[in-house]
Structure 1
């Protein structure tokens, strides 16, 4: 055995070995953190996508099953409301899912608030109710949260024009006595991600001319 080998490792060799060990551990931890971050982002994206599909599915089902049932009457004009639509608010009648209601037509008051939350409130449809009684969200009734973390929510409506053709998209549905033919839902998340636009055809729509005159010369009722 040589004198150098019998004396053991030098300090420089020990320090070099420690440096190499530390570098290897740092690389291993960095790889682990990166893998964990990628997996977390993947889970977050999957959850966001699942939430988006669930919200879209709910809105599609509720709007597609909207019924031309009167849920309020303007006491001053006696005009009846079957669908009231604004840029961030919709009110219409549809049956509730079995797990939410007890059957029968329910007024759906769907809207977005300033905190970026999309919510809906329900009440049994009453044709003789006033417009104020049908303002469920403003009355502070218990609302179900559909989605949050939204920066922008926009509802648009489409009906027949004066020539009985499919008209342009409108920010308001001003012919409340009739259901629109189609409703478009546009939503954007706080992080800038835009949800795919949802376009729903109302199967029981009478195809009224949005913002125009109804048959018989009835004027539109503003929401």
Structure 2
């Protein structure tokens, strides 16, 4: 019987090289597919987070109440809404799943963190003698912010929309509009401009005449 001829060393080397090249191509394709999937999932998670934060911020700002944030001295106008470029402070109900109900003093604050600016939120139950101290740390709603600022808008002397301002001076009233402009350090993260209209905007507390104004 004729003896079967085996593979030569050159043929084995060529086959091994082709197999290695094929495996490298397959690994690269799987790696790229995994990277694309991970990026898509991260983008979806980021978008969902932004929608949740915007929805929460809108719900709380629109529900702002004309209730004094702190007890007032006799003859002083109550402070029901405070706003500056880096902070909002107001009184509004908290969602049932986050508290036991009742009006809470709520603060949205832009602070410097290790990854740039971040948006923090804290709330305190409003008692008869003012806000009740809370031992919980502020909740970080957003991080990695390059720049951001709050602005408010009221009505002028003829009841037309005034200019956007970074400081709300008429603290005994709720402004007509509240805005948050924000840009992330990550270019792919997009923040749609946030504008909310409090339902009690420019409504003075009971027994308070007040005057609309911005500065």
TM-score, normalised to structure 2, is: 0.84
Query: Residue 211 of structure 1 aligns with which residue?
Result: none
Q: How far apart are residue 164 of structure 1 and its match?
A: 1.6
Gaps of 5+ in 2: none
Query: Residue 51 of structure 1 aligns with which residue?
Result: 49
In structure 2, what is the Cα distance between the partners aligned to 1:14 and 1:7? Answer: 14
Q: How far apart are residue 184 of structure 1 and its match?
A: 0.9
SS in 1 for 2:112: coil
In structure 1, what is the Cα distance between the partners aligned to 2:160 and 2:203? Answer: 10
Per mean C-alpha deviation after superposition, the further-off stretch among 20-29 and 113-122 is 113-122
Matching of residues 21-40 of structure 1 within 5 Å: 21-40=19-38
Is the 1:68–1:204 Cα contact (8 Å) retained in structure 2? yes
Matching of residues 87-98 of structure 1 within 5 Å: 87-98=85-96
Query: Residue 100 of structure 1 aligns with which residue?
Result: 98
Query: Residue 120 of structure 2 aligns with which residue?
Result: 119
Query: Residue 7 of structure 2 aligns with which residue?
Result: 9
Q: How far apart are residue 97 of structure 1 and its match?
A: 0.9
In structure 2, what is the Cα distance between the partners aligned to 1:181 and 1:104? Answer: 24
Query: Residue 175 of structure 1 aligns with which residue?
Result: 170
**How big is the alpha-carbon RMSD for the aligned residues of Structure 1 and Structure 2?**
3.0
Gaps of 5+ in 1: 209-213
How many residue pairs were aligned?
208
Deviations 1:13-60 (A, max 9, x none): 111111111110000000000000000000000000110011011001
In structure 1, what is the Cα distance between the partners aligned to 2:57 and 2:186? Answer: 22
SS in 1 for 2:109: strand
Q: Does 1:142 align with 2:140?
A: no
